[in-house]
Amino acid sequence: MFKVIERLLGDKIATEKISLTGSERFRGKINGSCPENLREECAKVCPVGAFKVTADAQGYAVDYKKCLFCGKCVEKAMGNLQHSSDEALPVITEDAAEVTAEVIKQKLGRSLHVRHLDAGSCNACDFEMGAMSNPIYDLHRYGVHVDASPRHADLLMVTGVVTRNLEQALKMSYEAMPEPRLVMACGACAAGGETYGASYAIVGAADKVVPVDIYIPGCPPRPSAMIAGLLAAADMLAERM
């Protein structure tokens, strides 16, 4: 008993502000301009087809829904591209896009109930979801709760590519939710579906099976990015009520 009391009294509050900036080596959003002769090369090394050559001034575009933040394109670009240490922001579907900025001010009094569904993840996304509840991130302070059942949830947080063996569970969980309901595709697998490529056992991204409202880039997204996404989702929900 003594040790428990000693730590309870001795430890300071651990909870931190959410930061979307990582450490020095952190591989976040891709910046820089890519010379023409290298663009094709970059696109070729991208394992998931997230790096595309475009006709605009930058000459490339990255689909952050699919990107694994693996650094291969940056390396190919030989110093012309860099990973910034900022995380890529959530991607919100068009009909929901106008919601955010306005409502984001009215943060008080809202709450969001979340049901997690692993549709075929490597479990890193799940571990980071679990970390949201540790004292450092303390998800509860934002009024966000993780529920035991989809029947109590406002938002279904899907991680992983949807596998054949889980397709039905995803559909049934979505159908069990009360309206209004939101679906979040969390991480490159659920959001982009290209992590492993196609197989007999993979259906694909979450939006192949259920309508998705918000996508969180990252492989896996860090807990802070997940929380930022959940806060945006809470605002979208307020608008739909």
Rule CB under 8 A: which residues touch other proteins?
1-4, 7-8, 11, 14, 22-27, 47, 68-71, 83, 116-118, 120-131, 133-136, 146, 148-150, 160-161, 163-169, 173, 195-202, 219-220, 222
Of the residues 48, 177, 202, 225, which one makes contact with ligand SF4 according to CB under 6 A: 48
Question: CB under 8 Å to 230, separation ≥6 — which residues?
Answer: 112, 114, 139, 142, 144, 155, 157, 184
229 close to 143: Cβ distance less than 8 angstroms: no
| In the complex, least distance from residue 110 CB atom to ligand SF4, rounded to whole angstroms | 27
Give bridge partners of residue 117 from the DSSP assignment.
Answer: 158
State the Cα–Cα distance between residues 193 and 10, nearest whole angstrom.
46
Query: Which partner in other proteins, ligand SF4, none is near 222 (CB below 5 to 8 A by kind)?
Result: other proteins
217 close to 67: Cβ distance less than 8 angstroms: yes
Give bridge partners of residue 32 from the DSSP assignment.
Answer: 81
| In the complex, least distance from residue 201 CB atom to other proteins, rounded to whole angstroms | 4
22 close to 222: Cβ distance less than 8 angstroms: yes
Query: Which partner in ligand SF4, other proteins, none is near 73 (CB below 5 to 8 A by kind)?
Result: ligand SF4
The residue ranges that bind ligand SF4 (CB under 6 A) are: 45-48, 50-51, 62, 67-73, 121-122, 124-125, 159-160, 187-189, 195, 219-220
